[in-house]
Structure 1
Amino acid sequence: MTKRQADVVVVGGGLIGAWTAFFLARRGRKVVLIEKGVVGAQSSGTNFGNLRLQGRFPGQYPLSLRSQALWEDIENLIGDRCEFHQSGHLYIAFNAAEREKLEAYAAVSESYGLTIEHLGPADLTRRYPWLSTRAVAATFSPRDATANPRLVTPAVARAAKALGVEILEHCTVTHARRDGAGFIVETADGRSFGSDHLVNSAGAWAGEIAEMFGESAPLFPAGPPQFVTEPFPYFLFPSVQAVDGTVIFRQIPRGNIILAGYPRTAADPIRNRAPVPPSKTLAAMRHLAAVVPALRHCHVIRVWSGIEGYLPDMIPVIGPSATTEGLFHAFGFCGHGFQIGPGVGLCLSEMICDGRTETPLEPFSIARFRGTVAEDEKFRREFDRPAAAEKGGPWARRASPSPAAARSIPCAAAPRWPRCPTR
């Protein structure tokens, strides 16, 4: 077997892997990016496209703000705007307890310099007359934005390729090991690559790569159901999210409403499936109608999802391996990876090229899973978890698909909603 040499091998061609390869190539490194399917096919290309700064884990703000600056410069970076739009993000509360949660989120955001507008019922009625009168409070962050996830990862990959990155699609890594001062990576089609550094950004499959080096994390595969409606008269300018997590939605200039519905659905990384049960479509539309009554008769025209990795504390793993020098992990982004993707890629490139990064990554160390990690409240609330996994205890090991999760769930045709009389 002939071994080909690179400075860095990146495993996983999602947004994290593509940005990491791009920034490494800008520093003159020879990079091979290996993707088992096609670039951006899973959660990187099937997510909601939200670039939300509000409501993040406090330790993530330095990374998140650094990443947002890169998003704001995306056209200069890669030559493609990817429908980046600074729409702002409206977080909504429907009772006193939710309002208290909003205010707590806002206080953290403001402590990191983010501008937050605090809105009461009168403000909401004046600025957003389409909003349900049940809303009692909201916060608005004008710097928050959106982009089109279907466009971004392929565009970053094209820019990386133009800088010399070799991108291998439909190529599965079967073995990876430390070899002297570097690494050997072998693929199912018989190829072998040597490198000085290895980046594990394999998404929901990253646990398998970590285990090759004696590390583990309780990675849970899931898919956030996504929906799009028929075009509707354009009137929704910000992204809108209920703080209880039931729904997040935005309207694109063509008029379609894009929304995500929770709880998330168990996915099958073995059969590469992330089905969306019809009940999720109905529930998502009920939640949407509760926030914007004028949309109660929109027609859903398409549903989809992708496979992404979640960790019980809802905090990703980012940074150096705790067992193997030269190995870097970036996985388990828990639905937050789209916004911080450019920043993660830049930080990893700095750690590989310079041995350090100015952005603190200590909260994201994989070493935290050597002890007990408590489940985050959002993790408990936002998942339909397989019963078999629940019987196995509080995520003591990396979850494998149970028979219930692995079964194919038939997808029915999207329901036809009665037409809105105002149209």
Structure 2
Amino acid sequence: MTDIHTPGSKRTLGTDVIIIGGGIVGASAALALRQKGVAVVLLERDFCGSRSSGINYGGVRRQGRLEAQLPLSQRAHHIWARLPELIGIDGEYVRSGHLKLGVNERDMASLENYAQMAARYELPLEILDQQSLRRRFPWISPTALGGSYCAEDGHANPRLVSPAFAHAARRRGAQIFDQTPVSSIEHDGQRFIVECPQLQVRAPLLINCAGAWGHRIAEWFDEQVPLQVSCPNMTVTEPLPLFMDASIGIEGGSIYARQVSRGNCVIGGGQGYTTSDTTARPGREAILELMKIASALFPALANAHLIRFWSGIEGNIPDRNPVVGPSHTTPGLFHGFGFCGAGFQIGPAVGEVLAELIDDGHTPTPIDAFAINRFSTASSTLMSTCIVSGDE
């Protein structure tokens, strides 16, 4: 890495790889590249892990993912198992089990079909009928007809985990610049030249991990992605007696809930709204509806006080799969964005995959379904908008 700095002028850095975006994907890519000895500069507009990677629900689940994501999710599952040695903290990660509830016969049929498919990827799921569900989870209302249980899925604290990946990358030698927005990117045929207010960075390789704004960077290189934003609602209760011994989802994604060791229940569902290009607020009516559904399913929440509400900006793609892999217009450009509210669990694996693509030229993890060239002007206009729950 070279550092050319003339007094009174903008600082100029030369490096092997530039990463734009310091969420869990960008930070894990920086860490994986440093483990391979590759020089990295990471540029984050705000603070690493402060956006959707740090304010999401915190689900660490494989169950419920699209089939194309399961190999990546299984890879991530093994990374989460060694979190303390990788980033120095456990991030309050617990394999509490993940229970996806069905509230009607159609839901139960869908859960059973999914379990059959997931078995091909060595993801064991246990289908529970209503009697078995009530026996094992008596705190769930009889309105649930059954569920699908994945014993080794769980949850973690995103406010701890996501920044910790950036801290670990910095300890390994990555140069990380918080509060450094990118104003422009050019490619001169050999190098990317990234301009920031006080900094210019040059490198032959660039990774776009800009989250809900990743499609804008792709557009600078003539790659179109039909990404739209959503603002998942989140709330947390006062500490309650411990009762919720699994992370909960609902088939169809209406709400999701978990309880932390301090007793607070974290509950998500519904949509908030944007107040600017970079900020979002929870929706009052949506929160009221969320708690109405939650208290009906979990009677212990009926009189709970809510102590905090929040939302964030998530990038959604109509087919519900992210964009991961090389550019199809610009050599040296790679993408990792558009995770549709489900990037927290797979983020560390995506970071490793991007590092492999850069350092080795290939990855053993199948990612063809995430190629950016799957979008075309004709097909993208026919694809319906995907509104996701943000249940990560």
Whether the 8 Å contact between 1:185 and 1:192 is mirrored in structure 2 is yes
Kindly report which structure 2 residues correspond to 1:158-173, keeping only aligned pairs within 5 A, or say none.
158-173=167-182
Q: What is the Cα-based RMSD across aligned positions, in Å?
A: 1.5
Deviations 1:324-349 (CA, angstroms, capped at 9, x unpaired): 11100011100110010000000000
1:122 maps onto 2:131 in alignment? yes
Distance 1:78 1:381, change over 3 A: closer
Alignment partner of 2:217 out of 198, 209, 212: 209
Deviations 1:178-230 (CA, angstroms, capped at 9, x unpaired): 1232211111x142111121000001111221111111211112221111001
Partner of 1:372: 379
Whether the 8 Å contact between 1:221 and 1:266 is mirrored in structure 2 is no
Partner of 1:318: 324
Alignment partner of 2:244 out of 233, 236, 245: 236
Partner of 1:300: 306
Partner of 1:245: 253
Output the CA distance in 1 between the equivalents of 2:34 and 2:314. Answer: 26
Q: Per the alignment, in what secondary structure is the counterpart of residue 214 of structure 1? A: coil
Quote how far apart the aligned CAs of 1:265 are. Answer: 3.0
Whether the 8 Å contact between 1:221 and 1:268 is mirrored in structure 2 is no
Whether the 8 Å contact between 1:222 and 1:274 is mirrored in structure 2 is no
Output the CA distance in 1 between the equivalents of 2:210 and 2:144. Answer: 40
Output the CA distance in 2 between the equivalents of 1:244 and 1:337. Answer: 18
Whether the 8 Å contact between 1:221 and 1:269 is mirrored in structure 2 is no
Kindly report which structure 2 residues correspond to 1:213-292, keeping only aligned pairs within 5 A, or say none.
213-262=221-270, 264-268=271-275, 270=277, 272-292=278-298
Q: Per the alignment, in what secondary structure is the counterpart of residue 325 of structure 1? A: coil
Partner of 2:6: none
- 1:62 partner letter: P
Q: Per the alignment, in what secondary structure is the counterpart of residue 97 of structure 1? A: helix
Output the CA distance in 2 between the equivalents of 1:116 and 1:205. Answer: 35
Quote how far apart the aligned CAs of 1:380 are. Answer: 5.2
Whether the 8 Å contact between 2:230 and 2:388 is mirrored in structure 1 is no
- 1:372 partner letter: S
Alignment partner of 2:58 out of 43, 49, 54: 49
- 2:284 partner letter: P
Output the CA distance in 1 between the equivalents of 2:21 and 2:212. Answer: 10
1:7 maps onto 2:16 in alignment? yes
Q: Per the alignment, in what secondary structure is the counterpart of residue 33 of structure 1? A: strand
Partner of 2:5: none
- 2:272 partner letter: T
- 1:333 partner letter: F
Output the CA distance in 1 between the equivalents of 2:156 and 2:167. Answer: 17
Output the CA distance in 2 between the equivalents of 1:376 and 1:58. Answer: 20
TM-score (normalised: structure 1): 0.87
Output the CA distance in 2 between the equivalents of 1:297 and 1:71. Answer: 35
Quote how far apart the aligned CAs of 1:244 are. Answer: 2.6
Whether the 8 Å contact between 1:55 and 1:109 is mirrored in structure 2 is no
1:361 maps onto 2:370 in alignment? no
Output the CA distance in 2 between the equivalents of 1:273 and 1:155. Answer: 23
Output the CA distance in 2 between the equivalents of 1:269 and 1:337. Answer: 23
Aligned length: 379
Output the CA distance in 1 between the equivalents of 2:147 and 2:180. Answer: 46
Q: Which runs of 5+ in 2 are unaligned?
A: 1-9
* Deviates most, 336-345 or 285-294: 285-294
Whether the 8 Å contact between 1:289 and 1:295 is mirrored in structure 2 is yes
Partner of 2:357: 351
Partner of 2:200: 192
Distance 1:84 1:367, change over 3 A: same
1:97 maps onto 2:106 in alignment? yes
Q: Per the alignment, in what secondary structure is the counterpart of residue 372 of structure 1? A: helix
Output the CA distance in 2 between the equivalents of 1:45 and 1:151. Answer: 8
- 1:265 partner letter: G
Q: Which runs of 5+ in 1 are unaligned?
A: 384-423
Quote how far apart the aligned CAs of 1:294 are. Answer: 2.3
Identity level (%): 41
Distance 1:380 1:50, change over 3 A: closer
